[in-house]
Chain A
């Protein structure tokens, strides 16, 4: 009964919202006819002012770079919060992953799956590094490349044992990478203030557009964000795995 009331309430609200939303959208410029000035202004100035040829990266890390610092800190806080919540609680203990169904035998590892993982891991890693490093030249950047880097390690998990993956993430190395990426981004953004410039002003030598070292700070920002995103997603995966496989309720003794 309450479910029905809930649905009726939702339908009324949704109809109202939908009608107002579509009416408002009808007043926008027609689809495919973008005429706002900002995109065009960015694309006209990005080559002259910044020696960058990739509009999206230039907007992300330069034109509205301050926003990106904030968003990147949301990412940092979300991963840090998730890890904080997933630490072993007082009532729990960390144990080696135990066999939950000892009466069933493990299926033999399929060589095709392992082979797939062995092939995919280095290529995905390489692709991730490429996407991060060329983020200011071609489609890509720190965020996208970082996710690719992390998914390279997901192949290790899929094709092997989770213990292999936890070995990579064990200790503080990945956490260090994550913190170093976040700190490098925020500190590099603060460098211009030492010279009395505004925060995040692109004061690095700009180089020549199209070269690997060009567009000032953009490749450096891409690298730091790439490292942070990759380490963050890896930490998330490993702490979820640890929750499922290694953390058990402490038995009353």
Chain B
């Protein structure tokens, strides 16, 4: 199953997108956005994976050990932290919109004004 990680990526992304497209609640929408975003973690890590590879840390490694790619791991790391804070920001928008319009449904909420 060499394609399996990429199928998981596509599935996670599309499942998250389906949730966003049909969402009737902003909090649900943010969760779906996070699901869609987590597909990028799976994708990045599966690109850099190497069979029988070990963590890219050069401490007491046996000679000729196979290492996985540290570059994509570093990308996934910052992806997660930034994703979490940006979700928090969207939730704040949802909170204030709920105060103004009394609804969490993104389709019923009136357009925002500054």
A-B contact count (CB 8 A): 159
Number of residues on chain A facing chain B (CB within 8 A): 62
A236 to chain B minimum Cβ distance, whole angstroms, is 5
B109 interface hit (Cβ, 8 Å): no
Q: Are A56 and B56 in contact (CB under 8 A)?
A: yes
Majority-rule SS of B interface residues = helix
The residue among A26, A55, A89 with the most chain B CB atoms within 10 A of its own CB is A55
Q: Are A25 and B3 in contact (CB under 8 A)?
A: yes
Q: Are B51 and A78 in contact (CB under 8 A)?
A: no
How far is B51's CA from A33's CA once the two chains are assembled, in angstroms? 6
B2 to chain A minimum Cβ distance, whole angstroms, is 4
Residues from chain A with a CB closer than 8 A to the CB of B92 are: 81-82, 85-86
Number of residues on chain B facing chain A (CB within 8 A): 49
B81 interface hit (Cβ, 8 Å): yes
Q: Are B77 and A14 in contact (CB under 8 A)?
A: no
Q: Are B68 and A39 in contact (CB under 8 A)?
A: yes
Q: Which of B47-95 contact A (CB under 8 A)?
A: 47-51, 53, 55-59, 67-74, 77-78, 80-82, 84-86, 88-89, 91-93, 95
List the interface of chain B (C-beta within 8 A of A).
2-7, 9-10, 14, 17-18, 21-22, 46-51, 53, 55-59, 67-74, 77-78, 80-82, 84-86, 88-89, 91-93, 95-96, 99
List the interface of chain A (C-beta within 8 A of B).
3, 6-7, 10, 14, 17-18, 21-22, 25-26, 28, 30-34, 36, 38-40, 42-43, 46-47, 53-56, 58-60, 63-64, 67-68, 71-72, 74-75, 78-79, 81-82, 85-86, 89, 137-139, 141, 143-144, 147, 209-210, 229, 232-233, 236, 240, 243
